[in-house]
Amino acid sequence: MDYDLIVIGAGAIGVTIAMDAAERGLSTAVVEARSGPGTGCSYANAGLLAPSHAHPLTGFGNVRAGLQNMLNPYGPFKLAPSPENLRWITRFLRASLPGVHGKAVDIQRRLSGASSAIHRRVAESGLDTGFRQNGLLDVYRDSAAAYATTDDLDNHPLQPAFSFLNAAQLDEEIPMATGLEAGILTTEDAHCDGYRYVHAVADRAVVLGVEFHFNTPVQSLIRRNHVTRGVRAAVGDLTAEHTIVAAAEPSKRLLKPTGLHLPMISGKGYVVDVAKHPNDPDRPIGIKDEMIVATPYPDRLRLAGVMELTGSDDSVDHRRIGAMITAGECVFPDLSSRAVLETWAGLRPCIADGLPAIGRTHDRGLSVATGHGQQGLVLAPITSAIVHAQMQGHSGTPSGVDPHSISPERFRRR
Ligand SMILES: Cc1cc2nc3c(=O)[nH]c(=O)nc-3n(C[C@H](O)[C@H](O)[C@H](O)COP(=O)(O)OP(=O)(O)OC[C@H]3O[C@@H](n4cnc5c(N)ncnc54)[C@H](O)[C@@H]3O)c2cc1C
């Protein structure tokens, strides 16, 4: 065998698994189709590490928001009615039933709580991920919606610390904002810079001996008699005792021959980075009515949001960017006059039941780590901890979550 471990995909999930593998003494390679780490969905995101906001995409709140926005071409949700999307939506609606959704919420929150704590330790260990733990402020035009959220936080298993801000208090916090009635500040939430995270982790992995093979799309898994022994690429075969598929939505195609049919589609999101203003708040602001997040970084202000279930085209629609800028003006009235530094769109890997697929498969030597949807950055460290624990033969998960609930095997066709 060439390696103990091969990881397919150098996004937030893949590089974290590779770094942890090298720390455990495994000879490790990462095989990545593109030219560098963090060039897929992990390139840009809102950077939130917010256990208080960890929830699956499923749930009737999102179904309602989706229906309300059906006729708005630049609303926060969009769905293209392809046969695959309609199959996905059917499963999604089933998973949105209160009992099923409630369990998924609990799982996501536990995973996110455990993972955020690791993010903090990673930053404390000296990796420069842009980590800052100074809370997240959600703002609302209608205080009734804010009160409903406080009920939810009161019943949250992690009991996050939060404070309710009325209009006057909000005015002190973000004086330039207009038309807002209420805010909720979750004080223990953190954020980081997703691209910096991926690069800091990948750099550390290289120091620990991980080999990166860039510009190397994996064509297929090498398998025989339900044993996976590495990957096949145009440049040749690379073999390993264990292979982990962390290739976001394209993981689906690689896994199909194993009998796993992940109900996963791409959820396209958008990012627009604009010049900073000295009066910008220094913590992320969730603009709830518009479903976008504004995250401040040292050199820019980033707006992120939108969920388009429209296929695998990741091109930027500039009318969409314009709509996001308009939507952000309730908090940043000068937004449209600021210099636009970068625009980007990326494809979140979204599984229909709202939970990721993490863990071993029935194939010996094959694990999966994908499908994290809008939570892949925050969940990267716990995902790595889970796959490594399972490779070492542990049956539980480090977060205490039932491994069956997130197992890729829940999608095996029998
Ligand atoms: C607008 C937006 C905002 C977001 N905000 C947040 C947030 O605040 N907090 C949070 O936690 N998450 C957030 N997310 C989600 C998060 O960014 C993703 O869940 C995460 O980046 C997914 O990481 P990944 O490693 O699974 O996928 P990717 O980063 O896409 O990595 C997968 C890699 O696999 C490679 N690959 C694919 N096929 C092959 C192949 N055949 N061979 C080799 N390599 C292959 C790809 O090139 C890619 O580099 C946001 C996403 C978006 C779009």
> Which residues in the chain show pLDDT less than 70?
414
Close Cβ partners of 182 (under 8 Å, ≥ 6 residues apart): 139, 140, 142, 143, 145, 146, 147, 164, 165, 166, 167, 170
CB-side neighbour CA atoms (13 Å) of 214: 10
User: What pLDDT is stored for residue 341 in this prediction?
Assistant: 98
Q: What percent of the chain is helix, strand and coil (3-state, nearest 5)?
A: 35, 30, 35
Does ligand 1 come within 6 angstroms of the Cβ of 247? yes
CATH superfamily membership of 3-411: FAD/NAD(P)-binding domain (3.50.50.60)
Q: Could you tell me the residue ranges of all domains in the chain?
A: 3-411
pLDDT on residue 134: 97
Query: Which residue from 322, 342, 339, 335 is spatially nearest to 294, judged by alpha carbons?
Result: 335
What confidence score (pLDDT) does residue 214 get?
98
Backbone phi and psi for residue 73, each to the nearest 5 degrees, phi listed first: -65, -20
pTM score above 0.85: yes
CA 239 / ligand 1 centre spacing (Å): 25
Q: What is the pLDDT of residue 314?
A: 95
* pLDDT value, residue 65: 81
Atom 37 in ligand 1: which residue has the minimum CA distance? 247
Distance 347 CA to ligand 1 centre (A): 7
- Which of 358, 377, 379 should be mutated for ligand 1, with most atoms under 8 A from CB? 377
* pLDDT at residue 77 in the model: 85
Q: With beta carbons less than 8 A apart as the criterion, state whether 205 and 38 touch.
A: no
Are residues 194 and 12 in contact, defined by beta-carbon separation less than 8 angstroms?
Answer: yes
Rounded CA-CA distance 394/382 in Å is 15
pLDDT at 43: 97
- Confidence at residue 170, expressed as pLDDT on a 0 to 100 scale: 94
DSSP per-residue string spanning 122-153? HHHTT-----B-S-EEEEESSHHHHHHHHHHH
**pLDDT tens column, 55-89:** 899 988 888 888 887 778 888 888 888 999 999 99
